[in-house]
Amino acid sequence: MAGAALPGRLTPPTTEEHAIDTGTPTAPRGGWRRATVREVRDPGGAVVLRLDVPDRVDHMPGQHYVVRLTADDGYTAARSYSVVSAPSDPLVELYVERLEDGEVSTFLADVVEPGDELEVRGPIGGWFAWDGETPVLAVGGGSGVAPLVSMLRHAHDLGRPELVCLVAAARTLAQTPYAEEISGGCQVVALSRETSPSGRAASRLSAADLAPLVEGRRTAFVCGSAAFAEAASQLLVSVGMPAGSIRVERFGPSG
Amino acid sequence: MSVTRGFLGHRRERDPRLPPGQYNAGDDWPVLTAEVTPNLRTDAWTLTVDGLVERVSTWTWDEAHALPQSEYHGDIHCVTTWSKLGTVFGGVSVDEVLDAAGPRPEATHVMATSTTGYTTNLPLEDLRGGKAWVAFTFGGLPLTTHHGGPVRLLVPHLYFWKSAKWVTRLTLMDHDEPGFWERNGYHDRGDPWQEQRYQGD
């Protein structure tokens, strides 16, 4: 991803000082565990792993796990992946985009089978984490929806699906992970190359998509590539979400 | 050690400059920021050194550029496991501004604050002795906004979240207290050679 050019800088924040709201509850944190892979699904260009994590510490939606691989000579490689599952799920679900030259993602996608053991550590992260109470607007680009789907699933578990408005942006429906869960209520699938199942015409995510969703939502979560996160967070500012209420998780190819 | 079945790893370019668990990002420079990118104007920016100092001191953009400039040539390491090798940053050594403000003897730690409200804590010793900069340039060009431009802290011997983007204040303290990521599960010091990624490492 690396500092990709902005597709168009939208309304910049009106003030330079927009102190980030750090009133986050203390997030749970777990140490290293040996997880057992129970399910492996291949949704195309990615792999969904469902892990049985012993003595697991329940996560807050939005938190992530680290997966560490160790070769027989002690060489290790570790990467972080957002948790997709809700805290109530007996398994921890990770969505791993397969990067062609990715050392860890290709291994997870091509080699791992049910029954394998993986070293994992988590949950981690207290910033990009939803408390399960605050009404939130969650905006994800491509595989950036993964941690937001955890929020949506948790809201359903709580019997309060209206707490999470999830906007998923992608090129096509086929490139929208978990699209089947993002429907009804205030959920939006915004596709740039084809008409959405809801009838939304093909176009980039715009202020018109977000403006109707901001009212009453005290926090926004934005997750996606650097370019997407930048564009989406500026769009949110342009429709009235205070910059200090926007929590951003930018990610890039980390193999 | 618990070996992962079938894992060999890509070790074709393992470089001795890479700390444990890091990989070479090559020409990439991933952007990882928790907040909305600010629109920071250089004519409104100032750098202040306050807290336990003899003289609270503030520099404008022009004043900071009038201080002796120096460069860092070397590597940077992000806790998310990428490293970028052979970078060149230019700016002012933190020694310059600390010396001007005069740390009091009881000062042991520093809180760095950004215009966004982002904070990160550092032992004072990690900012002294030519180990840290207030950086304005990367590769001889102005630092871009995404990478913390027009100005960021640079503490390259620690994980890169310590190198606060859009830095505006260094506050000297007689104790340690956690900054933004440190409150959110990350290590208080963050030495990549000791893999101090998370609290408890």
pLDDT digit string, tens, across residues A156-199: 999 999 999 999 999 999 999 999 999 999 999 999 999 999 99
pLDDT tens readout for residues A235-246: 999 999 999 999
Of A112, A226, A234, the CB nearest to B146: A226
pLDDT given for residue A6 in this prediction: 26
Give the closest residue to A63 by CA, choosing from A162, A163, A131, A117.
Answer: A131
Pair type for strands B23-24 and B82-93: parallel
Give the residue-averaged pLDDT of A51-72: 94
pLDDT given for residue A13 in this prediction: 31
pLDDT given for residue B146 in this prediction: 80
Inspect the interface and report whether the beta carbons of B23 and A121 lie closer than 8 Å.
no
Q: What is the DSSP string of chain B?
A: --PPTT-----TT--TTSPTT-EE-TT------SSPPP---TTT-EEEEEESBSS-EEEEHHHHHHSPPEEEEEEEE-TTSEEEEEEEEEEEEHHHHHHHH-B-TT--EEEEEETTS-EEEEEGGGGSSS--EEEEEETTEEPPGGGTTT-EEE-TTS-GGGS-BTEEEEEEESS----HHHHTTB-SS--GGGT--BTT-
- Vertex A123: Cα angle to A213 and A173 (nearest 5): 45
Q: Min CA distance, A109 vs chain B (Å)?
A: 12
Residues 6+ apart with CB under 8 A from A94: A48, A49, A51, A65, A67, A81, A82, A83, A84, A146
Longest CA span, chain B: 60
Pair type for strands A136-141 and A46-52: unpaired
pTM here? 0.84
The nearest alpha carbon in chain B to A12 belongs to: B39
pLDDT given for residue B188 in this prediction: 94
pLDDT given for residue B199 in this prediction: 83
A19 contacts in chain B (CB < 8 Å): 116-117
Inspect the interface and report whether the beta carbons of B198 and A124 lie closer than 8 Å.
yes
Inspect the interface and report whether the beta carbons of A250 and B198 lie closer than 8 Å.
no
Low-confidence stretches of chain B (pLDDT beneath 70)? 11-13
The nearest alpha carbon in chain A to B39 belongs to: A16
Residues 6+ apart with CB under 8 A from A251: A1, A144, A223, A224, A225, B30, B32
DSSP state of A27: P
Task: Give the Cα separation of A204 and A10 in Å (integer).
Answer: 13
pLDDT given for residue A14 in this prediction: 31
Give the residue-averaged pLDDT of A87-96: 97
On whether any CB of chain B is under 8 Å from the CB of A117, the answer is: yes
Of A24, A111, A237, the CB nearest to B6: A111
Using an 8 Å Cβ cutoff, are A163 and A135 in contact?
yes
Inspect the interface and report whether the beta carbons of B23 and A251 lie closer than 8 Å.
no
